[in-house]
Structure 1
Amino acid sequence: MTIRDWPDSERPREKLLLRGAAALSDAELLAVFLGSGLRGMDAVELGRDLLRRHGGLRPLLRLPPAALLRERGLGAARTTRLLAALELAARHLCADLDRGDPLGDPGRAAAYFSVRLRDRPQEVFACAFLDSRHRMIVFEELFTGSLDGADVYPREVVRRCLQHNAAAVIFGHNHPSGVTDPSAADRAVTRRLVDALRLVDIRVLDHFIVGDGPVLSFAARGWL
Structure 2
Amino acid sequence: MSRTLGVENLSDKKLLAQVIRHRLSESLAEDLAAELLAKFGSIYAVFNAPKEAFCEIHGLGPSRYFMLQSMLELHKRTLQQAIQRQTLDCSETTAKFLATHLQHHQSECFAVILLNAQNEFLAFKELFRGTISSAPVFPREIVRHVMIYNAANVILAHNHPSGHAEPSECDKMITQRVKDALALIDVRVLDHFVIGVGQTVSFAQRGLI
Q: Shorter-normalised TM-score: what interval?
A: over 0.9
Give the counterpart letter for 2:161 in structure 1. Answer: P
SS at match of 2:205: coil
**Contact map agreement 2:164 2:199 (CA 8 A) in 1:** no
Q: Deviations over 1:63-117 (max 9, x none)?
A: 13343233322112212211111111222233211x2111121111111111111
Give the fraction of aligned pairs with identical amino acids, expressed as a percent: 37
SS at match of 2:204: coil
Q: Deviations over 1:122-165 (max 9, x none)?
A: 11000011111111111101100011110101122122212221
**In the alignment, what sits opposite 1:5?**
none
State which of 11, 31, 41 in structure 2 corresponds to 1:25: 11
Q: Does residue 100 of structure 1 match 2:73?
A: no
2:135 counterpart of 1:150:
yes
> 64-73 vs 122-131, which deviates more?
64-73
2:126 aligned residue = 141
Give me the TM-score of the superposition, normalised by structure 1: 0.87
2-structure distance, mates of 1:87, 1:94:
11
Structure 1 residue 179, shift from structure 2 partner: 0.3
TM alignment of 1:200-215, pairs within 5 A: 200-215=185-200
Counterparts of 2:163 and 2:117, CA distance in 1:
33
C-alpha distance in 2 between matches for 1:197 and 1:71 = 49
* 2:182 counterpart (186, 193, 197): 197
Q: Deviations over 1:36-67 (max 9, x none)?
A: 269xx632122111101111211111013343
Q: 1:75 is aligned with what amino acid?
A: G
**TM-aligned CA deviation for residue 219 of structure 1:** 0.4
The whole-number CA distance in structure 2 between the counterparts of 1:49 and 1:37 is 15
Q: Scaled by the length of structure 2, what TM-score is found? A: 0.93
1:177 aligns with 2:178: no
Q: Which has more radius of gyration?
A: 1
Which segments of 5 or more consecutive residues in structure 2 lack a partner in the other structure? none
Question: Which 4+ runs in 1 deviate beyond 4 A?
Answer: none
For the residue of structure 2 that corresponds to 1:108, the secondary structure is helix
Alignment partners' CA distance in 2, 1:42 and 1:65:
21
Name the counterpart of 2:51.
Answer: 65
Contact 2:51 2:62 in 1 (8 A): no
